[in-house]
A and B are shown apart, each in its own frame.
Chain A
Amino acid sequence: MTFDAHVCPNGHATCPGHALCPECGDPQEGTVDLTDRTGEVVTWTTSTATPPGVREPNTLAIVEFDVSDATEGPDGDDTVRAIGQATSDDVETGDAVEPVYVEELRDPDIGLHKYVNVLVDVRGHASRRPRNSHRSGGITCVRQYERPFGAVGCPHRQSYGRL
C-alpha cells in the first residue's frame, strides 16, 4: 500500500486518484509519494457519532501537502489535499503533521464497503510491517509533527482495542 497523490501531465494533483484528471481530462499517469512529506491542517473535527467498526471518538483532519516540486507545467498545482485520522485529539488548524502507517483503520468485518480493508490483506504484508513504520501509508493517519516520530507508535491503534 502506498499513500500517493496522482498527477496528470499538466501538473494537476489529486488524492485519491481518478480515471481521468478532474481538472483537464488527461490520464493521471504520475504519482507523488506523500508519506515523507509534512502537511498542514486545513480543518478538523472530532466525531462522536461513528459507524460500527470505527473508533469513537474519531478525530479527522483535512491536510494540505506542498507538491510544487513534483508537479510540472505553468498550470500545475502547488498543493494537494488529503483526509486522515489524527493520532491525537490535540489538533489545531495550521498544525504541521505527517503521515504515519497503521495496519487497519476500521473493522474489516463491519461496514458496507467491505473491500476497503481487504485490500490490505491482498498485499499480505500489513500484519508484518512494524507498527511504527510510516514508510507505507496506503492506510494513513496524521499526527502532530512535533512529537518524536515513532516513539509512541500510533495512539489511534492503541486506543482501538482489537483493531
Chain B
Amino acid sequence: MPVAVIGASMTEFGDRDAWIRELLAEAGVAALDDAGIDPDDVEHLYVSNMASGEFQGQTGIMNALAHDLGVMPAYSERVDQTSSSGGAGIYEAWQSVASGASEMTLLVGGEKMHHKTTAEATDIIASITHPDEYKHGVTLPSFAGLTARHYLERFDAPREALARVAVKNHRNGVDNPHAQFQKEIDVETALGSPIVADPLRLYDFCPITDGSSGLVFTTEERAQELTDDYAVVSGIDGATDTHVVHERDDPTVMGGVVESSRGAYEMAGIEPEDVDVAELHDMFTILEFLQMEGCGFAEQGCAWEQVMEGRTERDGEFPINTSGGLKSKGHPLGASGVAQGYEIYKQLVGEAGPRQVAADTGLACNVGGFGNCVITTVMEAR
C-alpha cells in the first residue's frame, strides 16, 4: 500500500552539548509535533545510528528513545548500516507501513561524535574496513583520495570541479539554519586548504557533527485524513557493494548507487530526468560526481561538467543538495540519511523557505561506507 511522509524534523547540527539520547528525543518530539500526532499513535519506532556504543558507551538507544517519548509499547529497533543508517531507516519504516505491520511509524536518526578527537572519530569510522585494509591505516578519507585521483586522471577533469561542489554546497548551507557551517567559501579557499588525502583537501570533506533528524510515515489513506500536504515514498531500494573497496572492477562506479537507484526508479515508474531535486551523499566532494553518474544524472566521467556549468546550483536546471549537503550541514552518521529525507520532504510540501525550488519529485541517495551499502529513495508531492 502507498506510504506517505506526514512530518519531519531536524535538530541543529554541529558541536552539541546534548548526548545521543537527548539529541534523538529532541528530533523525535519535533517530528511528532510537525506531523500533529501523539506518542500513543506510534506503532513502530526505528532509530538510525551507527555507533552510539563506540562513541558514548550507550547501547539499546531505541529503547531509551521509546521511553523518553512515551511510545511504549510500540515495537522499537535500532538500524545500523554505517553512514547509510538513515536511508536504511527510511527503508525499514517504509516496509513497516507498506507491509501493514504498522499504521504509524516514527523514524529518528542521530549520532553524537564531536566529543571525540578527529583521529578517534576517524578510527571508529575506519573500523568498518576489512582488516587487510585497516592494518595499512586506510581511512574513509583515504578511499576518497584514491578514487578522486583516479577520476581526475582518467577523465581529465579539472581539480577545480571538486572545489566547485564544496563552494555550491556551502552557499546552499547559508540558508539552512540547522547547518553546522552557514558560511560561503570560494574556490581559492577550497584549493588552498590543507591536504587531507591528496589530491583532496580540507574543504573536500564534511565535518564531524552531532545531530538528529526525524520522519513520520503512515498509510496514504491515513495521511489524507490528517493533512492536505504530504509526500509519498514512490520508490525505494537498497543495494550492497564489496566490503573490500579495491576489489571493485571500476573504482569510479559505485555499484550500490547504480543498483539502488535503478530499483527506486523502477518502483516509482520514472526515469532519472523526471527527478526535480536531489540530495546526494557528499561526505567527500568526489562522491557527488560518482552519485550523479551512478543515479543516471550524468554519463560516466561527465558529472564534473554539469557542476562547472552551474547546472546543479540551487537556481540551476537541476539543483543538488539544496540543504547544503553533508558538506555544510555536517554528517552525524545515523542522522544524515534521515536529514536528506527531511530536505526532500520540505521541498515537496513547499516548506523549504529560502532554499525552496520548484519540485514535484525528489531523490535522496544515502551512501554507507565508501559505497558499501546504498539506499536510494524517491519521494513525490501529493
Binding site for B on A (CB under 8 A): 14-16, 22, 42-52, 54-55, 58, 60, 62, 81-85, 93, 105-106, 111-113, 115-117, 139, 141
Say how far B29's CB is from chain A's closest CB, in angstroms.
33
Do B146 and A45 touch across chains, with their CB atoms under 8 A apart? yes
Tell which of B16-24, B100-108, B134-142, B174-182 binds the partner: B134-142
Do B246 and A62 touch across chains, with their CB atoms under 8 A apart? yes
A89 to B124, CA, bound (A): 26
Do A47 and B197 touch across chains, with their CB atoms under 8 A apart? yes
Do B251 and A60 touch across chains, with their CB atoms under 8 A apart? no
Can you spell out 11 A-B residue pairs with CB atoms less than 8 angstroms apart? A44-B146, A50-B122, A51-B123, A58-B136, A60-B136, A60-B138, A60-B146, A81-B246, A93-B149, A113-B131, A116-B135
Residues of B within 8 A of A15 (CB): 132, 247
Contacts A14-B244, A14-B247, A22-B247; is A47 near B133 (CB within 8 Å)? no
A83 to B200, CA, bound (A): 19
In the complex, residue of chain A having the shortest beta-carbon distance to the beta carbon of B54: A112
- B 77-120 to A, binary, CB cutoff 8 A, 1 in contact else 0: 00000000000000000000000000000000000000000111
User: In the complex, which of the residues B139, B200, B245, B246 contacts A51, with contact meaning CB atoms closer than 8 Å?
Assistant: B139
A117 to B132, CA, bound (A): 11
Do B247 and A45 touch across chains, with their CB atoms under 8 A apart? no
A83 to B132, CA, bound (A): 8
Say how far A148's CB is from chain B's closest CB, in angstroms.
24
Contacts A45-B142, A45-B197; is A113 near B127 (CB within 8 Å)? yes
Residues of A within 8 A of B133 (CB): 83
Do B145 and A112 touch across chains, with their CB atoms under 8 A apart? no
Residues of B within 8 A of A84 (CB): 136
Residues of B within 8 A of A117 (CB): 135
In the complex, residue of chain B having the shortest beta-carbon distance to the beta carbon of A89: B198
Q: Does B242 contact A (CB under 8 A)?
A: yes
A128 to B145, CA, bound (A): 35
A93 to B139, CA, bound (A): 20
Say how far B305's CB is from chain A's closest CB, in angstroms.
22
Do A106 and B149 touch across chains, with their CB atoms under 8 A apart? no
Q: Does B195 contact A (CB under 8 A)?
A: yes
Say how far B123's CB is from chain A's closest CB, in angstroms.
4
A112 to B138, CA, bound (A): 13
In the complex, residue of chain A having the shortest beta-carbon distance to the beta carbon of B121: A51
Binding site for A on B (CB under 8 A): 54, 118-120, 122-124, 126-127, 130-139, 141-142, 145-150, 153, 194-200, 242, 244-247, 251
A152 to B153, CA, bound (A): 31
Most chain B beta-carbon contacts within 10 A, residue among A44, A45, A58, A84 = A45
A14 to B141, CA, bound (A): 23
User: In the complex, which of the residues B137, B139, B244, B247 contacts A85, with contact meaning CB atoms closer than 8 Å?
Assistant: B137
Do B137 and A49 touch across chains, with their CB atoms under 8 A apart? no
A133 to B200, CA, bound (A): 34
A22 to B195, CA, bound (A): 35
Do A51 and B126 touch across chains, with their CB atoms under 8 A apart? yes
User: In the complex, which of the residues B122, B130, B137, B247 contacts A105, with contact meaning CB atoms closer than 8 Å?
Assistant: B137
In the complex, residue of chain B having the shortest beta-carbon distance to the beta carbon of A54: B137
A137 to B141, CA, bound (A): 25
Do B246 and A115 touch across chains, with their CB atoms under 8 A apart? no
Do A49 and B141 touch across chains, with their CB atoms under 8 A apart? yes
In the complex, residue of chain B having the shortest beta-carbon distance to the beta carbon of A61: B146
Residues of A within 8 A of B150 (CB): 42-43, 93
Do A22 and B242 touch across chains, with their CB atoms under 8 A apart? yes
Residues of B within 8 A of A47 (CB): 137, 139, 141-142, 145, 196-198
A58 to B122, CA, bound (A): 14
Do A50 and B244 touch across chains, with their CB atoms under 8 A apart? no
A46 to B149, CA, bound (A): 11
Say how far A163's CB is from chain B's closest CB, in angstroms.
11
